[in-house]
Amino acid sequence: MRGSPALDPGSAIAKVAVDDVSGEPIPSPAVDGDWRARVSGAFAAAGVALPADSICLVVPEAWLDGSVDGTIAQESLRHACEDELGIARITWTSQLAAVAAWAAQRRGPGRYLVCDIGADGVRTAALEVTGPVIAIMAAHSSAGGGWRDFDTAVRSALTGEGDPLLADWYGPARKQERRARFVLDKAVAEATPQWRESWVYEFTGPRGTRKLLAGQVIDCFAPTQQRIRDGAADVLNGRPVDIAILTGGLGWFPLAVATLAEAAGVDPEIEEPGAAARGGLLFARDTVRLAPPPALAQVTLPMHRIENGQLEEVSLPLPWSEPFASLADELVLDDPVLTVDIGGQPATVQLPQLISGPCRIGVRRGWTGSSALVVRPASGAGAPVVVGIDARAASDR
């Protein structure tokens, strides 16, 4: 029987992986629109039926960190999949943890540094792989400097030089890897006009041959290079790694490989952009799992209900393991100031822009130890209210 599929939504290319013999991810351009359209569009483009029972969603690390912004992003995707598309069960993992899981099948346990050069930015994470358990130790995300910016910079550098650059110049460029690596290494090490003006890539077009020079390539890649260095330095904080992994749209690029090697202290392995979706299948099968988030205190909501005609006080548990609390009757909130109980202590939570009326309420915890409270209208209409809460045990505060 086929297991749950995995979806890496991506910002430019969505990847769907199904639990068949190959597990080969099926890429499709990201569909414009809201998450409902994007998720259903990704499966339609891949020719795979939208799952009704379960799915593993492979998302950025920041979506699972328990922050307000991350929880808002996660909740938006959850709402589309569970409430609108009717998928019964969602499991979650982070994209870089999924890449590490896929690589660990070959490389085994250890401390991993994973860098993804995506369409719109560069993300880096330090992860600890111990058997089937993968722990996110630290993560860093930089906007900008992704492969789109690099591509735009290269095209701008060649403006007015005849033929426009090939729409997909990466394909021919990858076939010239040996020369590119040699020339770029020399140009970086010596920084002389001779090497900066040496050509790295050559392309043949309708009007003749086009050449990309080393200096042009180095200068265009500089913003991405700095983001790789900054991300690695931030998540490693001087600690060594056993294995470095480079993935994403520029994972093949020699300067990206050299930069990560320098930052990590080990030569990186290259994983194709579909590695996150492939790794997501391992989480879907429960072959691997994320390390449990730090333990947090029990959160309950003091409330009133009518039982046998009598008004009585009860405490509604808000479980960490489910999106929302289970209720026999509707929960109605009409006060933007809410009192919850955290580990036996009352806490006041402000709910700005609360829509009065029936609602669902739940809590989210992240791999960082942060947590958030989510209040969503029971009708599904309108945006949820998401606020951060401090649910650490009293002894840890």
Stretch among 209-223, 251-265, 289-303, 306-320 having the lowest mean pLDDT: 306-320
Is residue 245 predicted with pLDDT exceeding 70? yes
Residue 161's pLDDT band (cuts 50, 70, 90): low
What 3-state DSSP class applies to 214?
Answer: helix
Question: Within a domain: residue 140?
Answer: no
Rg (alpha carbons) of the chain, rounded to whole number = 24
Give DSSP secondary structure letters for 314-343: EEEE--TTSSS---SS-EEE--SEEEEEET
Give DSSP secondary structure letters for 269-320: EE--TTHHHHHHHHHHTTSSEEPPPPP---EEEEEEEEETTEEEEEEEE--T
Q: Which amino acid type is present at position 73?
A: A
Of 94, 117, 145, the domain-final residue: 94
Question: Within a domain: residue 89?
Answer: yes
Is residue 334 predicted with pLDDT exceeding 50? yes
Of 42, 70, 94, the domain-final residue: 94
Question: Within a domain: residue 329?
Answer: yes
Separation between Cα atoms, residue 214 and residue 221, nearest integer Å: 11
What 3-state DSSP class applies to 103?
Answer: helix
Separation between Cα atoms, residue 277 and residue 281, nearest integer Å: 7
The mean of the pLDDT values for the chain is 91
Domain interval for residue 321:
299-396
Question: Within a domain: residue 182?
Answer: no
Phi and psi at 301, nearest 5°, equal: -115, 110
What 3-state DSSP class applies to 345?
Answer: strand
Q: What is the pLDDT of residues 36-50, one digit of tens each?
A: 999 999 999 888 899
Question: Within a domain: residue 226?
Answer: no
Residue 153's pLDDT band (cuts 50, 70, 90): very high
Answer whether 0.75 is exceeded by the pTM: yes
Q: What is the pLDDT of residues 180-190, one digit of tens each?
A: 999 999 999 99
Task: Give the mean model confidence (pLDDT) for residues 250-275.
Answer: 96
Question: Within a domain: residue 349?
Answer: yes
CB neighbour list of residue 143: distance below 8 Å, 6 or more residues apart: 120, 121
Is residue 132 predicted with pLDDT exceeding 50? yes
Stretch among 33-47, 91-105, 299-313 having the lowest mean pLDDT: 299-313
Residue whose structure tokens are 């020369």 = 179
Domain count, the chain: 2
Phi and psi at 251, nearest 5°, equal: -60, -25
Question: Within a domain: residue 103?
Answer: no
Residue 22's pLDDT band (cuts 50, 70, 90): low
Of 94, 120, 135, the domain-final residue: 94
Is residue 1 predicted with pLDDT exceeding 50? no
For residue 167, the model assigns a pLDDT of 80
Question: Within a domain: residue 59?
Answer: yes
